[in-house]
Amino acid sequence: MSSPHDSIPADSRATDSPTRRNWLWFSLQQIVQVVFAVWLRYRARGADRIPVVGPALLLSNHQSFLDPLLIGLPLRRPVSFLARDSLFRVPVLGWLLRATYVVPLNRDTGATGGLRETIRRMDQGFLVGVFPEGTRSVDGRLGEVKPGFAALIRRTATPIFPVGIAGANRALGRGSWFLRPARVCVVFGEPFPNGEIEVLKQRGREAELIALVGSRIAECQAEAEEWLQRGGNHMRR
């Protein structure tokens, strides 16, 4: 059962093109590119794997509040992420979140409204980003993968991609208020084989699905960490 707080405000709905960023996102991208390149020596690999048209679900580890920007920066398309609905009530921040495609999530009511809106955006052809851990990592390592995202996978047939982030916790981890100069690398992995996902959608196989997603995200994170340790210049393929 949903509540009034679980409904999606009309002005938070994505009305822009799923293949082109609006003026605000485009402007932010220009600024963030410079800041991240200089301050974080940011590098990303595999973004060309993400389709240029059509929906896709991006599943990533979660190290920092920076993560949505780190994932979205190398992509020319907008990405809709989930954020707790209380943030939408903060002046200016709420407007910024709505204008950058973020979906409000009410955890107290089972997030049914956020789930419906997320599916609606994928039906419209948008990229959607989800952090299966549900919260930021304490130490940068991949935490427990929560089962909530599995409901989203079961309700969609869109391509699914794992993403790994390394270094963001050192730049702006939990408890940090200021951006530190720390190298950050992001790896976009190969899509999950559709046949494998379809098999694991079957009743009673949720634990296997969760384990598979966790292992693929962990692989991408390890690859990003290896790249980071190499200085962000060379990476195995």
Tokens 């679900």 belong to residue: 57
Cα(137)–Cα(142) distance, integer angstroms: 7
> pLDDT at position 236, please?
44
Cα(49)–Cα(63) distance, integer angstroms: 22
Cα(137)–Cα(141) distance, integer angstroms: 6
Q: Give, in order, the Cα–Cα distances in Å from 97 to each of 31, 115, 154, 195.
A: 17, 17, 27, 35
pLDDT band at 107 (very low <50, low <70, confident <90, very high): low
* pLDDT tens, position by position, 54-82: 999 999 999 999 999 999 999 989 999 98
- Per-residue b/e over 62-85, b at no fewer than 16 CB within 10 Å? bbbebbbbbbbbbbebbbbbbbeb
Assess whether pLDDT exceeds 60 at residue 216. Answer: yes
Q: 142 φ, ψ to 5°?
A: -65, 125
Q: Give, in order, the Cα–Cα distances in Å from 135 to each of 26, 142, 144, 161.
A: 27, 10, 10, 19
Structure tokens at 72: 């979205």
56-60, 102-106, 177-181, 224-228: least confident range:
102-106
* pLDDT tens, position by position, 136-176: 999 999 999 999 889 889 988 999 999 999 999 999 998 88
pLDDT band at 12 (very low <50, low <70, confident <90, very high): very low
Count of other CB atoms within 10 angstroms of residue 16: 15
Cα(44)–Cα(217) distance, integer angstroms: 15
- Amino acid 219 reads E
Cα(85)–Cα(117) distance, integer angstroms: 13
Q: Which CATH number fits domain 40-229: 3.10.20.600, 3.30.420.10, 3.40.605.10, 3.40.1130.10?
A: 3.40.1130.10
